Amino acid sequence: DAGITQSPRHKVTETGTPVTLRCHQTENHRYMYWYRQDPGHGLRLIHYSYGVKDTDKGEVSDGYSVSRSKTEDFLLTLESATSSQTSVYFCAISELGTSGRGVNEQFFGPGTRLTVL
């Protein structure tokens, strides 16, 4: 299994509080991703990173920010959590696809279950 850990694994918080989720990898992969997974929606990309200090928005980025100060760590922050952000959050990593092969597969961390009351 790819070396990806997420912390915390479970969190319950209240509306309006800040929350930071951490993803840590030991694979030295260039790309890192944060997804949320909700019933009926599947996995939706929140933000991704293509290198240290290089990040970009995904399809559901409102209300979230990210930072990547080291290759191995990718942080997801909810500045002021809302009940709509109750979800399961997955981190994933990937390497660059080789020429002509399109994009490479992604490997996922175990997930964080976040409940915002």
Partner 1 sequence: RKEVEQDPGPFNVPEGATVAFNCTYSNSASQSFFWYRQDCRKEPKLLMSVYSSGNEDGRFTAQLNRASQYISLLIRDSKLSDSATYLCVVNPLNTGGGNKLTFGTGTQLKVEL
Summarize as ranges the residues that interact with partner 1 (CB under 8 A): 30-31, 33, 40-43, 45, 48, 50, 56, 58, 90, 94-97, 100-111
Q: Smaller CB distance to partner 1: residue 14 or 27?
A: 27
Q: Smaller CB distance to partner 1: residue 26 or 80?
A: 26
Q: Count of H helices and E strands in the chain?
A: 0, 11
Nearest to 69 by CA among 17, 105, 20: 20
Q: Which of left, alpha, beta for 72 (phi over 0: left; psi -120 to 50: alpha)?
A: alpha
CB of residue 71 to partner 1, shortest distance in Å: 15
Q: Smaller CB distance to partner 1: residue 18 or 65?
A: 65
